[in-house]
Amino acid sequence: MPQLIALVDDDRNILTSVSIALEAEGFKVNIYVDGTDALRGLSQRPADLAILDIKMPRMDGVKLLAKIREKSSMPVIFLTSKDDEIDEVLGLRMGADDYITKPFSQRLLIERVRTLIRRRELDANVVMEGANAEVLRRGDLEMDPSRYRCSWKGVLVNLTVTEFLLLKSLAIRPGHVKNRDQLIDAAYGERIYVDDRTIDSHVKRLRKKFKLLDAKFTAIETLYGIGYRYQESEQTVPN
C-alpha cells in the first residue's frame, strides 16, 4: 500500500506543490494547515512520515513534534526558514530526523522522504539483510537492526531511525573514532548533504535519552575537532 505522508504548513502554495510532487511519486498525502489541525488528524489516521513547518499559527512545528514524540517515533522532517536556526536545532534535539531550509528542491525533499521511509521499514517489511542481521551487544547496550530497537540495561530506549543508525555506526566498532562525515554517511547516505551541527544535535539528543535512564552514561565520547567514538567498557560483550 502507498506510504502516507502528513504535510503540515500554513502556506497553501507549499501544501499544493509538495503534495502534488509526493503524489506523483506514489505517496498518499494528508495536508494540514497548522499543528492543532495536524495533531487531531494524526490521532485519527497515523502517518508513515510527517513533514512539518516550524512557524505556524495556533501550534508551531516544535510543539507539534513534542506532542508526536509522546506517542510515536515516526520519521519527521522539518521545513525551516533561514532565520529559524534556534528552532531548527531545538527540533533536532527533540527528535526530528532531518530538516530542509526554504526555499528547497522538491527532488531533495522526496529523496529524503524515501530514505527515511526505507529505514523505517520494520517487521514484515524488513529487507532480507535486516532480517538476518544479528543483535549488536556492547556491554549494557543492545541493538536489533532488524527492528530498529535499542535497549540499555534491559530498558527500551525510544530512538529515531537516524539516532539508531548513528549509534550503531559508533557501537559497531568500539574505540574507533568516526568523524562527522562518516556519521553523516551512516545516518543519511552519501547522496544526502547535511551540515556538521546536525550530527552534533543528534548526538546530544542521544546522550540525553540515555542519561534519562542512566545518569552515569558516558559511552559516547567526543573528540573535539575530530568526531565521536563509542567508549568500550570492561563489561563489553563481544558481538
Q: What is the pLDDT of residue 131?
A: 47
pTM of this prediction?
0.64
pLDDT in tens, 45-82: 999 999 999 888 889 888 999 999 888 888 899 888 76
Please give, one letter per residue, the 3-state secondary structure of the chain.
CCCEEEEECCCHHHHHHHHHHHHHCCCEEEEECCHHHHHHHHHHCCCCEEEEECCCCCCCHHHHHHHHHCCCCCCEEEEECCCCHHHHHHHHHHCCCEEEECCCCHHHHHHHHHHHHHHHCCHHHCCHHHHCCCCEEECCEEEECCCCEEEECCEEECCCHHHHHHHHHHHCCCCCCEEHHHHHHHHHCCCCCCCHHHHHHHHHHHHHHHHHHCCCCCCEEEECCCEEEECCCCCCCCC
Q: What is the pLDDT of residue 158?
A: 82
Q: What is the pLDDT of residue 141?
A: 95
Intervals of the chain under pLDDT 50: 123-132, 234-239
Q: What is the pLDDT of residue 21?
A: 95
pLDDT in tens, 122-149: 543 444 444 445 889 999 999 988 777 8
Instruction: Write down all domains in the chain, each with its CATH number in brackets.
Output: 4-120 (3.40.50.2300), 126-230 (1.10.10.10)
Q: What is the pLDDT of residue 103?
A: 81
